[in-house]
Amino acid sequence: MEMLKFAEWRRPNLGEPERLEATVRQVIADVAERGDAAVKAYSQKFDGYEPRLIELQPWDQYPLSDATKAHLRVAADRIQAFAAMQHGMYRDLSLEDTYGSFGQVVKPLPSMAAYIPGGRFPLVSTALMTLIPARVAGVPRRVAVSPSDQPAILAAASLAGATSFVHMGGAQAIAALAQGTCWAEAVDMIVGPGNAYVNAAKGLLQGKVKIDTLAGPSEILVLCDDSVDPRWLALDVLAQAEHDPMALSVLATTDADLLEAIAQAVREELAKFPDKDEGVIQLVLCEERAQMVALANQMGAEHLHLACRDGYIQADEIDHYGSLFIGGHSAVALGDYCTGPNHTLPTLAVSRRKGGLQVGDFLKILTWQQVKPAQFAELAKTGIHLAHLEGLVFHELSLAARLPREK
């Protein structure tokens, strides 16, 4: 844990990725050349088992407690409702003018795969967050892939609408999904978080397959004042820091006494769990409110929590974040599971150019046009002129050939 001033805030060095990328390139090349045999070999080498296709049962038939089943249902229903709201944004549209009819149609991707991590923590919530929006979008083939075959993972994948489940992990799983194997045909999109090798594989294959984002370690930025219990705030930064040793939790305030109280609470909570391997925690003292806002826009955090009095910081002052949590009770940990908005979010300031996973990522908007024959000549004048300007002679002739011949 570091106590910093605003000017001292910085993003930790995540290391040099070149060696890791070279390893992943070799895995991808080998899978492309040897196919299933290479996937089996890497799975045996890294995970100790061969990939296998697991037939999913109805989700409520897995040996889980009644309480677990009930809460999985609550989370799934809320994610479903939010995704359905998003789906309402996308619809077929058309306009008609003097020259004809023009429009768009919205169609789902033919297939997708959700990578569900199973390493340090088997993430059942990831199954819900990645598969449910694809189902709402209407994607017909939805493959769940995970290095874990725990009943809770299988149940969550079934509940979320996976049409198949492959017990397989690592960079070789991403390569297999992009290329196609005996366990699953190639997919059009791969989503979901994973370790550095999985992330590198997604990055290297994104020209061949669509991906959600290249996710770095989990991040949170908390902007706070003394209206929220310091222990709550300490637990908020610890909650995100426990995702990964490279996770980044930043908290900023203008109140020095509050910052010290939060630091003390962090120390007390960590002492209760001496074996916890926490990520980087930075507690930042700002001179004024404007520095807190500036920090938020600089960081573009995956999770941004405004844990302060109503109106102290307005949401529209901040342009860059993966998802925004407003008020002391809008805990980021709740958003990880069951508020409804997706928890698959951009990190490393990628929020400057894209938001989190949503239904629209599984849709494609296709445009169409139908020009009226009687109005072609008038509109073609513009096309012919611009084709001539660009020096594209066959574009020009393609249009000119359709003009009525002068008598």
CB 319 within 8 A of CB 355: no
pLDDT digits (tens, 9 = 90+) for 169-188: 999 999 999 999 999 999 99
pLDDT at 107 over 70: yes
pLDDT at 406 over 90: no
Q: What mean pLDDT do residues 88-112 have?
A: 97
Report which DSSP code applies to 324.
Answer: E
**Are both 236 and 133 inside the same structural domain?**
no
**Are both 283 and 201 inside the same structural domain?**
no
pLDDT at 344 over 70: yes
Could you tell me the residue range of the domain that residue 389 belongs to? 372-400
**Are both 224 and 193 inside the same structural domain?**
no
Residue at 104 is within a domain:
no
**Are both 254 and 277 inside the same structural domain?**
yes
pLDDT digits (tens, 9 = 90+) for 145-172: 999 999 999 999 999 999 999 999 999 9
Residue 407 pLDDT class (50, 70, 90 cuts): low
248: tokens are: 């980044």
**Are both 237 and 181 inside the same structural domain?**
no
Residue at 205 is within a domain:
yes
Query: Any catalytic annotation for residue 395?
Result: no
Of 197, 212, 227, which residue is a domain's last?
212
CB 265 within 8 A of CB 183: no
Q: What mean pLDDT do residues 324-348 have?
A: 96
Query: Any catalytic annotation for residue 185?
Result: no
Marked catalytic residue, from 219, 278, 302, 396: 302
CB 251 within 8 A of CB 283: yes
pLDDT at 119: 67
Residue at 249 is within a domain:
yes
Question: Residue 192, class by beta-carbon neighbours within 10 Å (0-12 exposed, 13-18 middle, 19+ buried)?
Answer: buried
pLDDT at 267 over 80: yes
Q: Looking at per-residue confidence, does 65 or 217 come out higher?
A: 65
Give percent of the chain with pLDDT exceeding 70.
Answer: 98
CB 175 within 8 A of CB 23: no
pLDDT at 16 over 90: no
Residue at 28 is within a domain:
no
Marked catalytic residue, from 243, 303, 305, 320: 303
pLDDT digits (tens, 9 = 90+) for 216-265: 889 999 999 999 999 999 999 999 999 888 899 999 999 999 999 999 99
Residue at 182 is within a domain:
yes
Q: What mean pLDDT do residues 287-296 have?
A: 96
Of 146, 180, 212, which residue is a domain's last?
212
**Are both 51 and 178 inside the same structural domain?**
yes
Cα 237 to Cα 253: distance, rounded to the nearest angstrom: 14
Residue 215 pLDDT class (50, 70, 90 cuts): confident
**Are both 272 and 392 inside the same structural domain?**
no
CB 361 within 8 A of CB 346: no
pLDDT digits (tens, 9 = 90+) for 274-291: 888 889 999 999 999 999
pLDDT at 275: 86
Question: Mean pLDDT across the chain, nearest whole number?
Answer: 94
Residue in 329, 327, 243 with CA at minimum distance from that of residue 281:
243
Give, to the nearest 10 degrees, the angle between helix 393-400 and helix 376-390.
Answer: 160
Pairing between β-strand 323-326 and β-strand 303-307 as defined by DSSP bridges = parallel
Q: What mean pLDDT do residues 43-55 have?
A: 95
Predicted TM-score of the model (pTM): 0.93
Residues 6 or more apart whose Cβ sits within 8 Å of residue 94: 101, 102, 103, 104
Distances (CA, A) of 194 to 32, 163, 197, 344: 21, 21, 8, 11
**Are both 227 and 85 inside the same structural domain?**
no
**Are both 343 and 237 inside the same structural domain?**
yes
pLDDT at 11: 85
